[in-house]
Structure 1
Amino acid sequence: MDTTLIIGFGITLAAYLVVLVAIGWYFNKKQKTVVDFWLAGRKLGALPLGFASAASWITGGGILAVTAMYLLGGLGSIWTFAAPNVIALFLIGLLVTKIKSLPAITQPELLEQRYAGSIRGPVAVIIAIVMILFAAADISGLSLIFGVFFGFDPLFAAVLIAVSVSVYVLLGGLSAVVWTDVIQYLMLAGITIFLAIAVIFTASGDSMLSVSDFITTSAPAGWWNPFSIGIPMILIFCIAIMPGWVSEHDQWQKVWAARDEKSARNGFFFGSFLMLLIFGISCCLLGLGLRVLYPEIADMGSAEVALLNFISSHYGAPVIIASALGLTAAAMSCTDTFSTSGGSTISRDIYQRYIKPDATMKDLKVVNRIAVLIIIVGATIVSFLPINIIEFIHIATYIASAAYFFPLMGGLYWKRATKEGAMASLIVGGVSQIAMVAIDLYMGATNGVYYLETISPVFTAHGVILGMALSAVALVVVSLMTKKSSVYNLAPFFPDEAKVLERDEVDHVNVNSEEYKTYKKALKIEKTGERESFHLELKASAPLNWERFTDELAKSSDAWISTGRHTIYRLTHGDLLSCPTLSRGNNEQEIWVAAEPRLEGSNIAQVEVFLAYNEVAALLKSMGILTNLIVPEAKK
């Protein structure tokens, strides 16, 4: 063990972590609401989104594993992992218009709005498990890197990434995640491209060929054939992987965090290109060069460490330290995303939804950070299971594809999907997929082939195609056998249903009255892309029983719709983002009213927020409680 090398890496890593923590601290000062913590205040532009969407899917271990796949299987192996990554990000870009208009912070919350409260908890648990598995792959990969370079015990790598990521994510939330991901992508891209060039030049020199001749002639017949694994296997991998990734919770959160649809769309298209640059080009060249340098390698375990062995044997401390730091950055960029995404489901969809619906924003700031720690600690523990890096990722993806892909996408695009159908789909697909994974892991693999696949090709990839088929059938059959969803559940997702709820009430408000002018002074308006963000703070004269208050408000008018009591909407048209939303403020006397209308609907939305305020004030007055408007400092 080279002590000088370890000390040099430690100093470099410490300096890097100081930068990350500083970013987290900076954004910590800007947080006021859960939207600020989980969705970066919905203010992210295309460039940071692009870098973050790519960085959050490029792990240090993933780079090693994808390179190993190319080394062993040639270009055809691109379909087992790399191509689905690139295509999935591009498809999310195509779905931006639909996703961005959905009024949620998390997917479980969205599914409750579409179906019913009963589905929210199970989906939250599944997403948390999936995020833990994804993060475990990153920690496992980093353990491998540190073991080869520095001889560190795997526990050291696990503790290092857990502590490091926890600090800046707990401080800055999604804003810190995205902006640290920008730095981390640039670092990992720089070192990966450098290593690809170095490996190719070294291999071509050993072969006494020019670089161009080496690339075109050194590979065996069929190595450059992208369809070498066969069309059936390509379809299996795409069907098994892409649904889970297209519907992945962490990337949808980034769409919701974008300042507008254009930024989100361009960001994901850019992210798809950035992913292609690493997984599609750089790792492919690495695999080709390493295949020539290490022709004796024939198994995945040896192939995964080939790049690390090349670096150790050909370069000194500066390159080793830079490589270790770049791959560490890749691991962190994924772990922070998955911990934030999984933490949001624990905080908002489990704690606030079921344990304490009347939690104040002050309470949630603490719970948000505890939830992130739960995901990171869980991933650290799981990373010690005897599962390789890609297998962690594949298992997590298969569970997501089979469990909640069809309830989610079916709910968005099929009006006839019902809460009973969604729950059946979730249970049948999720339970069957988890059972097949458990059987395969228990029985083990022979020559790289898991037990169930030896029974029938139907069980290829832990039987995910079967699991997805069962999930889809359950959704369709049970939905057609049960009653159609309520118009209040359908309105936010289908414009024709929303027309039933439209109200002609805005023209009856006198916007020149003193009452309206007083309200306007208290209304905080901030432009965020093609929308404006409204924020109105009310202070009650006494602490509120939030459960009683929301129940009474929902009874007072059919316009008020509750999603688990912590949030209640005044639903008057299909664009739920622009509808007034109530949530608890910093303490038990504060009520926050918010809305995010499109720019062209700003004036109407201001009146709707005013009407919501009046209805809240009237209800509280009937309960013997007075309300005052809190005027922002800038307007006083």
Structure 2
Amino acid sequence: MSESSIVPPLSQGWGYGVIIGIGMAFAVVMMGVTHLLRKYAHEDNNSFETYSTAGRSVGVGLTATAVISSWAWSTALLSSSTVTYSYGVGGAYWFGAGCIVQICLFALLAIQSKLKTPHAHTILEVVKVRYGTVAHIVYMALCLINNLIAVINMLLGASASISALTGMHTVASIFLLPVGVCLYTISGGLRATFVTDWAHTVALFIIVLYLALKTLTSEQLGSLHDLWEAVKAAGVQSPVDGNYNGSYLTMTSPSAVEFGILHTLGNFGLVIMDSSYWQKAYSADNAAATPGYLLGGIVYFGLPWCLGTVMGLASIALQHTPDWPTFGRAVTTAEVNSGLILPYAGMTVAGSAGAVAVVIVVFMAVTSTTSAELIAVSSIVSSDIYHTYIRPSASGKSIMVVSHLACVGFTIVSCAVSVAVYYGGGSLTWTLYFLGVITCPGMVTMPLTVLWSRQSKVAAIVSPIVGLFAGLATWLSTAYYYGGEVSVASTGLTLPCVFGTVASAGVPAVLTVILSFVFPDDEPFKWSKFNAIELIEDDSISEDSTPSVDDEKFSETSDPEHAGSAPPELASYKLKPGHIPTAGEVKYMQRMSIVAGSTAAFLFLVIWIIWPFSMYGTRFEFSESFFSGWVVVSLIWVFAGLLVVVFLPPIDGRHKIIQIIRGVTLGK
């Protein structure tokens, strides 16, 4: 055994059993669910509309659960404990705060997309209609890079943890983790992703509560009072550099704030440039988009806050006890960067059961999120690349074949690149800190595509490209300045990543405004032009099918200015005019836009400014009673979230569930 490894508490059979066994079980179950939906609920995932947007009828519960699942990366579970171990209570708080604002702000983008692009399938489709081919290619590249770095980050963290706990080879873990996900994603499309999101998220919340409660009631810790005492003593014995009094129990931590800035900006880029979030917005019912995203963001906050606080601080308290896996030596930097603090804490307080719990929760997190990434990439490859540029006359069936092949291809590519990064010295922490440099260049210009009619074509194309090069140059130059060389170690330092991310995000934000006024388009963009994007009929519908009543009503009453015409790249599809929002629906969505924007601004003000910086400025160090309240509130937050994800989706989908039960039992 090397000095940076431990004796695995579980056999390799556990690793293969969870990854292959549970993965395949989920695949079989989801294939069965897909079959039932097709047979009794008339949801045909072989239709591109159903496959890519789940019929645009997903309710609040599943939308919120999908948001939580998409955001509950294995990285979040592992890194929230790691940054708390490194910086104290501020680490877990800033991890949660760095995630909630983006999702709540995306509620505004979701409802604006429903209002202005009611028939879109991918955000890139919207970009092409507004700015043309060059912009389409630029943003396509940015989105695909974003998807790739997201999956690499998840696979590196998950595989390191599973390897440490089971002895399973890291490379085997990397390649096997996405197998089951790929199978049920191909089988069920976005609807299967929503259903598995629900199952995974319920399991995730239960295991997080188990780990937190088991830790707080373990023999090694004793009670919240004992944990507070141990962490307070650790701040005296090994003070945190920069923290007030060197304490782990204070929000006055410059390093935690630096991480918060880096994490918040990087996550803005991840959310906005991840086309899976836009697809889930398109799939939501008009009435579900805003409340779904707001509820999902608020519920999610408790996960990293609670788990990171309890497990990170418990690691500080337990690392010098005989039950700690590395007892007798210090935890190495490599172990910390690989996200092994959570697995070590779980092993310490619960032995093999704790190790099993961590393996399962990491597996659940990485697979549910990977499913969304596969759907996003497959839609980009099949619709935005294959059908738009390679074979414009392709049939719907061939588009679906390419979509399935894209799932397999992206799985192989992402695994191969993950292995290359792993052998190159990259880790979960390195990719987490670095990713903002890559993901942020388009995070302002992409939303302005549906929010600001005066953003010009030149600004939309040039700004993210300049921002990307500015971010990379800043990142590498500051890495050399602070580290003395450009290496994996220096490029993974916090400050170079912060400066690089700020440059990637800030330069395009300023440049797009300047270029929009210096090189304006002939006239402000008319949102009605987005109605050129139309719904896509399944190939099985005959050419001479009689239009439905809704179609006839649309053709009689729709405003020609709003109806638009199909773009050339959709010419071979059987197009359906679809539904143009009525005056009442428009009014509702405009009202929800105000609600979403106001809520996001309010949460940013409270969670990102008032709450943390009032504690930072007063140099407040947690008392025993305040610490107990802090932990208890985080536990209540997670428990309330569990109730939401367990009950709300089935309540939303009760009619469809009843329909399927009747079909199975009564045969109709």
* Same structural fold, with TM-score higher than 0.5 when normalized by the shorter chain: yes
Superposed displacement of residue 243, structure 1: 3.1
- 1:130-529 matched pairs, under 5 angstroms: 130-202=146-218, 205-206=219-220, 210-212=223-225, 214-215=227-228, 218-219=231-232, 220=235, 222-229=247-254, 233=258, 236-237=261-262, 240-248=265-273, 249-260=275-286, 262-294=287-319, 297=330, 300-303=333-336, 304-315=339-350, 317-384=352-419, 385=421, 386-402=425-441, 404-434=442-472, 436=474, 451=490, 459-461=496-498, 463-486=500-523, 489-492=525-528, 522-524=546-548
Q: Which residue of 1 aligns with 2:646?
A: none
Q: In the aligned structure 2, how far is the partner of 1:174 from the partner of 1:444?
A: 45
Is 1:23 aligned to 2:49, yes or no? Answer: no
SS state at 2:454 partner: coil
Cα separation, partners in 2 of 1:559 and 1:145, compared to 1, 3 Å: closer
Secondary structure in 2 matching 1:357: coil
1:210 aligned partner, one-letter code: S
Offset at 1:482?
A: 2.1
Structure 1 pair 557–281 and aligned structure 2 pair: CA distance change class (3 A): closer
How far residue 130 of structure 1 moved from its aligned partner, in angstroms, is 0.9
Of 355-364 and 337-346, the range deviating more from structure 2: 337-346
Task: Give CA-to-partner distance per residue, 1:117-170, whole Å, 9 cap, x none.
Answer: 221012112111110110111211221122112111112112211322111111
Distance in 2 between residues matched to 1:396 and 1:2, nearest whole Å? 30
From the superposition, tell whether residues 87 and 135 of structure 1 become closer, same or farther in structure 2 (CA, over 3 Å).
Answer: same
SS of alignment partner, residue 592 of structure 1: strand
- Structure 2, unaligned runs of 5 or more: 1-6, 39-43, 236-244, 321-328, 533-542, 586-668
Please identify, of 307-316 and 83-92, the stretch whose mean Cα deviation from structure 2 is larger: 307-316
> CA 1:381–1:521 in 2, change beyond 3 Å: closer, same or farther?
closer
- 1:256 partner amino acid: Y
In the alignment, which residue of structure 1 is the partner of 2:649? none
Higher mean alpha-carbon deviation, 36-45 vs 112-121, is at 112-121
Between the aligned partners of 2:91 and 2:431, the Cα distance in structure 1 is: 18
> CA shift at 1:333, angstroms?
1.1
Cα distance 1:559–1:314, how it changes in 2: closer, same or farther (>3 A)? closer
Task: Note if contact 1:79-1:234 (Cα within 8 Å) is conserved in structure 2.
Answer: no
Contact 2:75–2:153 at 8 Å: present in 1 too?
yes
Distance in structure 2 (CA, Å) of the matches to 1:374 and 1:439: 35
| Equivalent pair of 2:113/2:450 in contact (CA under 8 Å) | no
Identity among equivalent positions (%) equals: 18
| Aligned residue number for residue 573 of structure 1 | none
* Higher RCO, 1 vs 2 (CA within 8 Å, ≥6 residues apart): 2
Residue by residue over 1:471-499, the C-alpha shift from the partner in whole angstroms, topping out at 9 and shown as x without a partner, is 23332232222242556x423389xxx9x
Provide the rounded CA distance (Å) in 1 between the counterparts of 2:316 and 2:450.
46
2:580 equivalent in structure 1: 597
> Normalization by structure 1: what TM-score?
0.73
In the alignment, is the contact (CA less than 8 A) between 1:130 and 1:399 conserved in 2? Answer: yes
Deviates most, 237-246 or 226-235: 226-235
Task: Write the letter of the residue equivalent to 2:430.
Answer: E
* Residues 335, 535 of structure 1: alpha-carbon distance in 2 compared, 3 angstrom cutoff: farther
Work out whether residues 106 and 344 of structure 1, in 8 Å CA contact, stay in contact via their aligned partners in 2. Answer: yes
2:572 is equivalent to residue 584 of structure 1: yes
Quote the offset at 1:419 in angstroms.
Answer: 0.7
Tell me, in whole angstroms, the C-alpha distance in 2 between the residues paired with 1:596 and 1:230. 51
Deviations 1:41-66, CA, capped at 9 Å, x for gaps: 11211111212111112222431221
State the distance in 2 between where 1:558 and 1:266 align: 27
Q: Does 1:81 align with 2:98?
A: no
Equivalent pair of 1:533/1:595 in contact (CA under 8 Å)? no
Q: Secondary structure at the match of 1:405?
A: coil
Q: Are residues 115 and 41 of structure 1, via their aligned partners in 2, closer, same or farther at CA, if it must alter by over 3 Å?
A: same
Give yes or no for contact 2:387–2:394 (8 Å, CA) kept in 1. Answer: yes
The answer to whether the Cα contact below 8 Å between 1:121 and 1:349 also exists between their aligned partners in 2 is no
Indicate conservation of the 8 Å contact 1:406/1:425, yes or no: no
Assess if the C-alpha contact under 8 Å between 1:77 and 1:229 holds in 2.
no
Write the letter of the residue equivalent to 2:378: G
- Structure 1 residue 465: deviation in Å? 1.4
Name the CA distance, whole Å, in 2 between partners of 1:446 and 1:67. Answer: 29
Aligned counterparts, 1:524-543, within 5 A = 524=548
Aligned with 1:110 (options 107, 122, 126):
126
Q: Which has the higher helix share?
A: 2
Q: Which amino acid in structure 2 is aligned with residue 171 of structure 1?
A: S
CA spacing shift, 1:227–1:523, aligned 2, 3 Å: farther
Paired residues in the alignment total: 527
| 211-220 or 45-54: bigger deviation | 211-220
Q: Deviations over 1:323-374 (max 9, x none)?
A: 3222211110111111221222222212222112222111111011122223
Q: 2:98–2:261: 8 Å Cα contact kept in structure 1?
A: no
- Report the residue type matching 1:267 in the other structure: G
Deviations 1:166-223 (A, max 9, x none): 1111111111111111111111221122111222223xx445x532563477434643
CA offsets 1:556-609 (integer angstroms, 9 cap, x no match): 99975454x223xxxxxxxxxxxxxxx534xxxxx232312336689xxxxxxx
Q: Per the alignment, do residues 52 and 534 of structure 1 end up closer, same or farther by CA in structure 2, a change over 3 Å counting?
A: farther
> Counterparts of 2:477 and 2:187 in 1: how far apart (Å)?
40
Q: Return the letter of the residue paired with 1:598.
A: P
Contact kept, 8 Å, 1:42 with 1:258, in 2: the verdict is yes
Larger radius of gyration: 1
C-alpha contact 2:151 2:414 (8 A) present in aligned 1: yes
